Structure 1
Amino acid sequence: MVTIFNNKEEITPYAADIFVAAAQKAIQERGIFVIALTGGSSPVAMYKLLATPHYRTKIDWNNVFVFWGDERWVPLDDDRSNAKMSCHHLLNHVAIPKANIFPMYKTGITSQDYALEYEQSIKSIVREDGKFDLILLGMGDDGHTASLFPAQVVLQENSKWVSAYYLESQNMDRITLTASTINKAREIVVITYGENKSNALNEVLYGDYNPQKYPMQLIKPLDGKLLFLTDQAAIGTNQ
């Protein structure tokens, strides 16, 4: 499903309302809310809004468990860290126990070994069904999502829940939920907007199936919901 807004500012409260509703529903039905946050610039306004009293008081943060969809393998105090950004704009402003936050980075361990550890952390919370209640994603202008970049071996990974690999084009390790893990989620929300995303978004939604070129096309929930939140600039004439 694609919901088109006039501009990116209209996306923010809509996305925040989805977050709150998903949290309330999960906690009411299962006792906990398990979320995978996204990095980049797209969710920043939503995180800021969720941190305001009007929104943060609607969620029982004691029962929220936070993971990330992907991360650059950089220290948590690095400005490139998705965890640092998310904490700065949201998590530092809500009453969530520190033990409920699972950053995708750890000192003194390789990214590959930590991917195995991170998978076990997820399993300890969601159990074997592997279902996140909500996974937030962005999309790059090359059609990548999380750290599922075009033409990378990770795109074929079906057994691991979490994978780490060296991304040559960025000269760094990345760690990511795999497409098969993302697709188990009860709800997936993709926030992507702006004219620079137009070509990739339209190829993902309306073009031929070519996930090696546009990895976002791999995101197809098994029995959950998939929602794209976008704007007129990104969608262009296709609506």
Structure 2
Amino acid sequence: MHPRLLPVLTKKPVPSKRVCAAKLASLVSKRADTEVRTKRAERPFSFLLSAPRFLLCPMSVLSTAAGTVHILDRQAAFTELAKRINALPGGRPTVALSGGSTPKAFYAWAVTTGALSSDTLARVEWHVSDERCVPLTSEESNFGNAARGMLDALGVADSLRKPWPVGQAPQEAADTYEKSWRTPARPKLYDLCILGLGDDSHIASLWPQCPLIANDQGRFFMATEWPGRGWRLTITATGLAQCGEVIVLVAGANKAPALKAVCSGPLDVACHPGQVLRKMASRVTWIADADSARLL
């Protein structure tokens, strides 16, 4: 080969602009990946800092200012509720049911599964913590729905059914129901009071700005006119404090802000009536699904 041609033949080809850009991108990617691995090595669990607290808890149980929150799916929630009812001590324990779609679903589940024992059905006295001033035959009646959805199907005796006297005028009905509890034979109110939580933070028929929140006159039960929803008969904050145990059922993403406000938000009971439960937090259990507990 001619000596003058040698430099030309051995000279390396000049890479194109596209090849240079690809190599540069590869180098940048490798450097970024190295930095990420280094940070993970320094703080291996830092990604958990932004995760919802209930995902970090292996038993899905949280302690809050308003009581203990159990995060459970529907099947587990209903199983836990039935377990609590079956475990009530005493000769004739009292259970207050609640209105709403979740209790209705529990009634159907209890009938289908037979989760409530025969002993429970023979001795538990059934009430509702609040009621609309409508006949028991109405689809709006909390006790009526409990009877049609569960008590009838399970053969609960009439003597164990204790509805509010809705045939009376609202305040008279509240007075009559109150007197039935003001006896030496009843040292406390319900052994187990089951409640729901509204997306406006209401419990029972204690709605936001309800006058009974600030002054229930030391009564266990009262009548109140809920603007736009009519007259209600309801347990009061004083009454709730006299219950042996309170369980609140919460389900749905729309309830998440309310659950957060009640359990961990600034204290404002007038706006968030569920916060009255903070005074009895040691006896309150919240059974919530993952959607409603996502902000805790």
The normalised TM-score by structure 2 is 0.72
> Are 1:110 and 2:169 counterparts?
yes
Structure-2 separation of matches of 1:37 and 1:114: 18
- The answer to whether the Cα contact below 8 Å between 1:71 and 1:175 also exists between their aligned partners in 2 is yes
- The answer to whether the Cα contact below 8 Å between 1:158 and 1:178 also exists between their aligned partners in 2 is no
SS in 1 for 2:152: helix
Structure-1 separation of matches of 2:122 and 2:184: 14
Q: 1:2 aligns with which of 69, 73, 94?
A: 69
Q: 1:145 aligns with which of 203, 207, 213?
A: 203
- Which residue does the alignment assign to 2:257? 199
1:106 CA displacement: 2.7
Paired letter, 1:166: E
Q: 1:184 aligns with which of 233, 237, 242?
A: 242
SS in 1 for 2:218: coil
- The answer to whether the Cα contact below 8 Å between 1:189 and 1:226 also exists between their aligned partners in 2 is yes
- The answer to whether the Cα contact below 8 Å between 1:4 and 1:229 also exists between their aligned partners in 2 is yes
- The answer to whether the Cα contact below 8 Å between 2:177 and 2:221 also exists between their aligned partners in 1 is yes
1:116 CA displacement: 0.6
Q: 2:226 aligns with which of 163, 167, 177?
A: 167
Write out per-residue CA displacement over residues 84-106 of structure 1, whole angstroms, 9 at most, x where no aligned residue. 11011111123332122111243
Q: 1:77 aligns with which of 115, 130, 137?
A: 137
Structure-1 separation of matches of 2:292 and 2:237: 23
SS in 1 for 2:114: helix
- Which residue does the alignment assign to 1:226? 284
- Which residue does the alignment assign to 1:14? 80
- Which residue does the alignment assign to 1:94? 154
SS in 1 for 2:127: strand
Paired letter, 2:254: N
- Which residue does the alignment assign to 1:32? 92
Structure-2 separation of matches of 1:125 and 1:33: 15
- Which residue does the alignment assign to 1:157? 216
Structure-1 separation of matches of 2:119 and 2:110: 10
SS in 2 for 1:160: coil
Structure-2 separation of matches of 1:31 and 1:88: 25
1:131 CA displacement: 3.2
Question: What is the count of residue pairs matched by the alignment?
Answer: 228
1:223 CA displacement: 8.6
1:47 CA displacement: 1.9
Alpha-carbon spacing, 1:224–1:100, altered in 2? closer, same or farther (3 Å)? farther
Question: Which has the higher mean CA deviation after the structures are superposed, 96-105 or 62-71?
Answer: 96-105
1:237 CA displacement: 4.1
- The answer to whether the Cα contact below 8 Å between 1:139 and 1:191 also exists between their aligned partners in 2 is yes
The CA RMSD over aligned residues, in Å, is 2.0
Structure-2 separation of matches of 1:39 and 1:201: 18
Alpha-carbon spacing, 1:90–1:38, altered in 2? closer, same or farther (3 Å)? same
- The answer to whether the Cα contact below 8 Å between 1:20 and 1:58 also exists between their aligned partners in 2 is no
- The answer to whether the Cα contact below 8 Å between 2:251 and 2:289 also exists between their aligned partners in 1 is yes
Structure-2 separation of matches of 1:36 and 1:218: 18
Alignment gaps of 5+ in structure 1: none
Which consecutive aligned stretches of 4+ in structure 1 deviate over 6 angstroms post-superposition? none
Alignment gaps of 5+ in structure 2: 1-67
Alpha-carbon spacing, 1:148–1:97, altered in 2? closer, same or farther (3 Å)? same
Largest Rg, 1 or 2: 2
Structure-1 separation of matches of 2:94 and 2:279: 16
Paired letter, 1:177: I
| Percent of aligned pairs with the same amino acid | 26
